[in-house]
Amino acid sequence: MSPRTVTARSSTATAAAATEAGFPFRLEDVRARSAALGEPAWLLERRLQAWAATERLPFPTVKDEAWRRTDLHAMPRPSLALGSGGPQAIDRELLQPLAGELHGALLALTPGQEPVREGGRDLARRDVIFTDWATAVREHPEILERWLGKAVADDEGLFAALAASLASDGVVVHVPAGVRVAQPLHSVLWAPGSGRAFFSRVLVVVEEGASVTFVHETASPTEAAGHALHAGIVELVVGAGAQLTFVELQTWGQHVWNITHERSTVARDGKLDWIFGAVGSQVTKNFSELSLAGQGATGRMSGFYFADGIQHLDHDTQQNHLAPSTTSDLLFKGALVDRSRSVWQGMIYVAPGAQKTDGYQANRNLLLSTQARADSIPGLEILADDVRCTHGATVGQLEEEPIYYLMSRGLPRKEAERIVIDGFFSPIMERIPYEGVRARFLRMIEAKLE
């Protein structure tokens, strides 16, 4: 792919008032959004608090340690207005069942439009909540009040604060204690259009002994010109002995600046299987944090990314071992073509007293062009003495010997390379429990290599 020419389109919002950081949003926008969603006073108050934080928090620069390798200065902030997106209807492909042959419950969100839902009728009977934000506000305010902000602090960064004050699209999942949901839940946030800023929230609570699989996608078509912003908060709460498989697929158009703050807490003997797939966006900065808060908790983080053109994908992961006998296992694998760039920086933190913990992190990168670049920065901070923590990071290129070997069996070069690349990603594919998701990843690889 050749680099795109990117031109900023002038904003439709011409109001002079703007945030400190230069975005064209105003306090009235926060009030208007909250009112439109019919939110109770406490929720408006939360938003106003978050709004206050947006005025306090600086716009990140490369002088900030977390942002050293991801430069946002070219983001055309004044041109990113609130509002609904472009006219493109949702890609039907996104509505196909991904997890299992069964069509589980599906929820499709498009900013400015009514959510579309399919299936999942029996969920309510079991008191399982799987719904959009407005419905959650109307029907389950106690769940929001109880859990919102428990994992991600609204003011942990400018973009978290923006999402917390302005998000109008969101997904809420709540599985009551002991309920095991066999059918996978699948939601899609589809936000087409340029010159727009989109904010979203995801809240997943799996109570004690419950289990669920949830696939959440964020997507849009690539616009020919202009930019868009998506900032999101993802909160995952896994109760004692509960199990959550959370798959997130990021296929934003290559005009989107995508910044997310995602955190999980896992209670005693709880289990989180967290899978990331990222192929979209112009720039992504994804903060993902796993906190193993209760003894015996385990968390696995598996990341797949593939960048092309001038894409820049930055995954910033943190594995916190806060209790004894906790286990974490992170594997992120990425490939890069053209002039794209990836950053992975990961930290394993072991708190004092979190003995008998086992932490692992590995990041492997495959550079498929001489102009691509991958930065891989592992880190350990261990404040307990009886632990096992290991890490590894590699950046490599396709080797000629395996290609020659495969070609000697009749495979054309392109196919031989593809087989080696698929093989590279295979350890990640093996961690994905659903054929539909695996097939989607393989199609993503194919699209990138075309």
Dihedral sign computed on CA atoms, order 128, 134, 139, 140: positive
Please say which residue, 76 or 277, places its beta carbon nearer to other proteins.
277
Please say which residue, 177 or 395, places its beta carbon nearer to other proteins.
395
Please say which residue, 142 or 400, places its beta carbon nearer to other proteins.
400
Binding mask 353-392 for other proteins (x = CB under 8 A): ----------------------------------------
Distance in Å, CB of 366 to other proteins, minimum: 11
End-to-end alpha carbon distance in the chain: 8
3-state secondary structure 370-386: CCCEEEEEEEEEECCCC
What is residue 124's three-state secondary structure? helix
Q: Cα 44–60–299 angle (5° rounding)?
A: 75
Interface with other proteins: number of residues (CB under 8 A): 23
Please say which residue, 40 or 412, places its beta carbon nearer to other proteins.
412
Beta partners for residue 374, in sequence order: 342
**Which H or E element spans position 429?**
helix 413-429
Inter-residue contact 389 to 380 (CB < 8 Å): yes
Distance in Å, CB of 430 to other proteins, minimum: 9
Which residues in 116-155 contact other proteins (CB under 8 A)? none
Inter-residue contact 253 to 222 (CB < 8 Å): yes
**Token output for 245:** 């498989």
Binding mask 421-450 for other proteins (x = CB under 8 A): -xxxxxx-----------------------
Please say which residue, 91 or 422, places its beta carbon nearer to other proteins.
422
Inter-residue contact 8 to 15 (CB < 8 Å): no
Distance in Å, CB of 293 to other proteins, minimum: 34
Distance in Å, CB of 427 to other proteins, minimum: 6
168 torsion bin: left (phi>0), alpha (psi -120 to 50), beta (else): alpha
Please say which residue, 2 or 408, places its beta carbon nearer to other proteins.
408
Inter-residue contact 280 to 223 (CB < 8 Å): no
Contact region with other proteins (CB under 8 A), list: 196-204, 316-324, 376-384, 394-402: 394-402
Please say which residue, 3 or 427, places its beta carbon nearer to other proteins.
427
Distance in Å, CB of 415 to other proteins, minimum: 6
Please say which residue, 14 or 408, places its beta carbon nearer to other proteins.
408
Binding mask 396-425 for other proteins (x = CB under 8 A): ----xxx-xxxxxxxxxx-xx--xx-xxxx
Distance in Å, CB of 429 to other proteins, minimum: 8
Residue 50 dihedral angles phi and psi, to the nearest 5° = -65, -40
DSSP 156: S
Residue 138 dihedral angles phi and psi, to the nearest 5° = -75, -45
Distance in Å, CB of 300 to other proteins, minimum: 18
Residues whose CB falls within 8 Å of the CB of residue 147, separated by 6 or more in sequence, listed in order: 174, 203, 205, 235, 237
Binding stretches for other proteins (CB under 8 A): 400-402, 404-413, 415-416, 419-420, 422-427
